[in-house]
Structure 1
Amino acid sequence: MKKIFITLFLLLSLLQISSVQAEILDRIVAVVEDDVILDSELSRETEAIKQRLKANQVMIPPDFVLRKQVLERLILERLQLQRAKNIGIHVSDEMLRNAIADIAARNGMDVEQFRQQLESQGMSFADFQNSIRKEIIINQLHAREIGSRIKVTDREVAHFLETQGDVGQEKVKYRLGHILIAISEAASATAIQKALDKARRVVKELREGADFKQKAISVSDGANALKGGDLGWRTVSQVPTLFVDIVTKMKKGDVSEPLRSPSGFHIIKILDMQGLDKHVITKTHVRHILIKTNELVDDKEAQKRLRALKHRIEDGDDFAALARAHSDDKGSAIKGGDLGWVGPGVLVPPFEAAMNKLKIGEISEPIQTQFGWHIIQVLGRQQQDDSLEFKKNKVRAEIRKQKMDEETNLWLRRLRDEAFVEIYLDRI
């Protein structure tokens, strides 16, 4: 009996030790509303970030600093996924498959080749799928919660072009570094002053030669902190409104004074600068004859009619006269089938692809689009400086992106401030 008792005691002790070890290995590091973040999850994400920083030859900060940054990112991600679930945002398996197929195609591979490539680099394909699913969900959430409220008017585009001068001239592009010392919307005067003092210390250290990337990773509360605060290359239209005036007066290597916004105090550094080139496009003068299909004219009959018209033109008949008599595109038929000078992206893809293969004066074989069957003739091509129109479209897109970024930062800060979040990181 004594031996049995001792054996049972040892077994219970081992079970208790195993339980304690399991608890130590996977403790809760944060409670986020009705969900939790585990230490194992934080450790995996931290290790992944470390590998990326090593690959980019960025000095890795102390573990406690990096884990704090990564945990904050996981908290924001969890809050957004919870919000998306609550309002019914869902990504279907088909949508996920299409997104991954598109990523694989952009990398010159099919999905199976892409899977093998990921696995050869030590990445689980299931983890990659999960990451893409979350990214799509969060993008849809931002579009619904923020994007639907953002409008860009013609007046805003015109104002930008007026204040920035002649868009045909060469413009400057900036590569920006960004550090945010965050404050909450309800911060006290003492908390605001404390954040400002910290921002001023950071500016002083940077101007004395501190490494910007390392400093951003260590102290920044910005979304790009783990990328060393690098915001990438931006034209003036892409620079957040708060920074525009100061950025345009800075030189490469300059560090700004702290800039106040509702999110906190921002520090900007000009990492690099370069000029912008003109945007030149090829415009094509094109005409066509369209035969639509219906109950009486099927695909075969439409092609037959167009081939007959092509032969007549090649034998000397006038294209414009035949277009006026036979084309089902009544808008262009009265102009002899002439569609005028068109730039890239104006016409539907099958039509544009066939048009681009033609020599000047050449007539295509019948080609099919969503509108019916066509024969096409190219009358001329010319290079055109499309900088003004291109710039207008780009300015419109970038003003929208700028507004989206600013609104997203405020929305995320509000989401974080209003959520129930309990952090146990310092207790481990």
Structure 2
Amino acid sequence: MKQPFALFLLAIATATALPTHAQLLPQAATGKQPLDRIVAVVDDGVILQSELNEAVRSVQQQYASNPGTLPPMDVLQRQVLDRLILMKLQVQRADDQGIRVSDADVDQAVNAVAQQNKMSPEQLRAAVEQSGSSFAAFRRQLSEQLIAQRLHDSVIRDQVNITDSEINNMLASPSYKAGEVHLGHIQISLPAGASAADIKAAQEKATQAINAIHGGMDFKAAAIRFSDAQDALDGGDLGWRRVDEIPPAFADAVANMKAGDVTPALRGPTGFHILKLIEQRAPSRQVVQEFHARQILIKPSELLTPEQAHQKAEDLYNRIVNKHEDFAKLAKEFSKDDTTANNGGDMGWFMQGDWGSIIAQHMAELKDDQVSQPFQSEAGWHVLQRLGSRESDRTAEMERNQARQAIGNRKAEQAYDDYLREMRSSAYVNILVPELREPNEPQGGKSS
């Protein structure tokens, strides 16, 4: 199941831009800093000016080809600082809960980022260091992202349950809509237990955003400037979402919109939302190719060496193909696959990849009724017979699976959003630099 990640991942300031799914919020470079200061106290931790500068520099490089998209420097600094604060709180909360990651976990993440950027780990390290940042800081940031993801998983694990009744109700609802939409999003959040003054201030900010968009400001630029959602510094791009995956109020709002339309400010439980319908696409039938096959599996064991297992599979192949002995009878007698042996090796109807890539490859090479030469997988030696193939309409089955995923994603997103809001509201956050505070925000520790 897709798990919405509450952390916005900013680009590393490297000569090679990282794709969004592999972008990181950079730490300060380890070079000497002429001056440094604490800009914010976050519970038991602090955020330094050098950290903020490096993060802001990264965002500026990310938008170097279109700098006009970025808001004024004071607004950008506050946006970035807010995300640094949220990251700091999540890492602290995870630490309190004993959530850890190992060096091996970080190594695996480094390799994944390198692969996504078509680099070797050594090339990735060189690119990071060429930018003036340290690779140790890069690894620390990866570690923090992994910790925060595990916190996310821990929070939603016991809160997100999906029943068959919920799936049935969704699919039977008159308001159920299939298809997918690509949305832009601006969120003006309200703190937990918002006062009338908080609501008024948020509404005024939402109105400013609407007026700016209607006045010609690009929606992405407006998201960067006004939104406080975790996707703000990515221009508020929510990507493609199934219509049944987004909140019902959002689905209703975009139901009659055309590509390019923008909603008015929508009031929700967590604040005000502005949506742009970037693109939409209709659902399609899910027709898949299925195969019917049977197999004999010979496993090496303490009594059967790998070479003997291979030879036994060759003998069975010869008995089936050349001596025309009954496949099902031999499977019952000799196959060591617990799931199929008693049924004469019958694997039933399945999609090509359901039994793994090796069987899928051989299945595609066979014709109906043809028996394969013995081949090896991690399980042992196989003799496979393809019995038939067909196209199967799995639209209804996949619709249920997608509905289950949509309900789960929606619940997970709401559960973690509530968790973050509560965490932020109860945290001690003291922004020490006056120009980094929100307008009219007093100095001193605050919740929200």
**TM-score bracket for this pair, using the shorter chain length:** 0.7 to 0.9
State the partner residue of 1:394. 402
Distance in structure 2 (CA, Å) of the matches to 1:165 and 1:359: 46
Distance in structure 2 (CA, Å) of the matches to 1:242 and 1:147: 25
Matched residue type, 1:265: F
Distance in structure 1 (CA, Å) of the matches to 2:289 and 2:117: 27
State the partner residue of 1:14. none
State the partner residue of 2:317. 310
CA 1:178 to 1:76, structure 2 compared with 1: closer, same or farther past 3 Å? Answer: same
Larger Rg: 1
Residues 7-26 of structure 1: matches in 2 within 5 Å? 25-26=35-36
Q: CA deviation at 1:203?
A: 2.4
Matched residue type, 1:291: I
Distance in structure 1 (CA, Å) of the matches to 2:285 and 2:397: 11
CA contact (8 A) 1:350 1:369 kept: no
CA contact (8 A) 1:287 1:339 kept: yes
Residues 114-193 of structure 1: matches in 2 within 5 Å? 114-116=124-126, 124-163=134-173, 171-193=178-200
Q: Percent identity?
A: 38
Distance in structure 2 (CA, Å) of the matches to 1:188 and 1:105: 48
Distance in structure 2 (CA, Å) of the matches to 1:333 and 1:267: 58
CA 1:145 to 1:166, structure 2 compared with 1: closer, same or farther past 3 Å? Answer: closer
Matched residue type, 2:292: H
Residue 392 of structure 2 corresponds to residue 384 of structure 1:
yes
CA contact (8 A) 2:190 2:199 kept: yes
Cα distance per residue 1:323-372 (max 9 Å; x no partner): 233223365334331211111442244444444444441413242334x4
Single out whichever of 393-402 and 412-421 deviates more from structure 2.
Answer: 393-402
Cα distance per residue 1:365-406 (max 9 Å; x no partner): 242334x43221222333333332223222222221121112
CA contact (8 A) 2:259 2:278 kept: yes
Matched residue type, 2:311: K
CA 1:345 to 1:224, structure 2 compared with 1: closer, same or farther past 3 Å? Answer: same
Q: CA deviation at 1:189?
A: 1.6
Distance in structure 1 (CA, Å) of the matches to 2:128 and 2:374: 43
Distance in structure 2 (CA, Å) of the matches to 1:102 and 1:190: 46
Single out whichever of 22-31 and 127-136 deviates more from structure 2.
Answer: 22-31
Distance in structure 1 (CA, Å) of the matches to 2:115 and 2:367: 30
Q: How many residues align?
A: 403
Residues 326-337 of structure 1: matches in 2 within 5 Å? 326-329=334-337, 331-337=339-345
State the partner residue of 2:376. 367
Q: CA deviation at 1:106?
A: 4.3
Distance in structure 1 (CA, Å) of the matches to 2:334 and 2:396: 38
SS of 1:25's equivalent?
coil
State the partner residue of 2:259. 252
CA contact (8 A) 1:307 1:365 kept: yes
Residue 217 of structure 2 corresponds to residue 210 of structure 1:
yes
State the partner residue of 1:50. 60
Cα distance per residue 1:121-152 (max 9 Å; x no partner): 77654343222211111000011122331111
Residue 347 of structure 2 corresponds to residue 339 of structure 1:
yes
State the partner residue of 1:417. 425
Matched residue type, 2:190: I
CA contact (8 A) 1:180 1:265 kept: yes
> CA RMSD for the aligned pairs?
2.7
Distance in structure 1 (CA, Å) of the matches to 2:71 and 2:327: 71
Distance in structure 2 (CA, Å) of the matches to 1:241 and 1:407: 16
Distance in structure 1 (CA, Å) of the matches to 2:111 and 2:101: 15
SS of 2:69's equivalent?
coil
CA contact (8 A) 1:28 1:424 kept: yes
CA contact (8 A) 2:205 2:226 kept: no
Q: CA deviation at 1:30?
A: 0.5
- Structure whose residues are more often helix by fraction: 1
Distance in structure 2 (CA, Å) of the matches to 1:109 and 1:362: 42
Cα distance per residue 1:207-230 (max 9 Å; x no partner): 343321111111111111111111
Matched residue type, 1:326: F
State the partner residue of 2:243. 236
CA 1:329 to 1:59, structure 2 compared with 1: closer, same or farther past 3 Å? Answer: closer
Q: CA deviation at 1:81?
A: 0.5
State the partner residue of 1:98. 108
Q: CA deviation at 1:76?
A: 0.3
Matched residue type, 2:88: R
Residue 94 of structure 2 corresponds to residue 87 of structure 1:
no
Cα distance per residue 1:82-120 (max 9 Å; x no partner): 111111111101111122223334445443344445556
CA contact (8 A) 2:295 2:331 kept: yes
CA 1:284 to 1:139, structure 2 compared with 1: closer, same or farther past 3 Å? Answer: same
Runs of 5+ in structure 2 lacking a partner?
1-31, 437-448
TM-score normalised by L of structure 1: 0.85
Distance in structure 2 (CA, Å) of the matches to 1:359 and 1:110: 41
CA contact (8 A) 1:174 1:233 kept: yes
Runs of 5+ in structure 1 lacking a partner?
1-21
1:65 to 57, 75, 100: 75
CA contact (8 A) 1:348 1:369 kept: no
Residue 279 of structure 2 corresponds to residue 283 of structure 1:
no
CA 1:358 to 1:136, structure 2 compared with 1: closer, same or farther past 3 Å? Answer: farther
CA 1:68 to 1:165, structure 2 compared with 1: closer, same or farther past 3 Å? Answer: closer
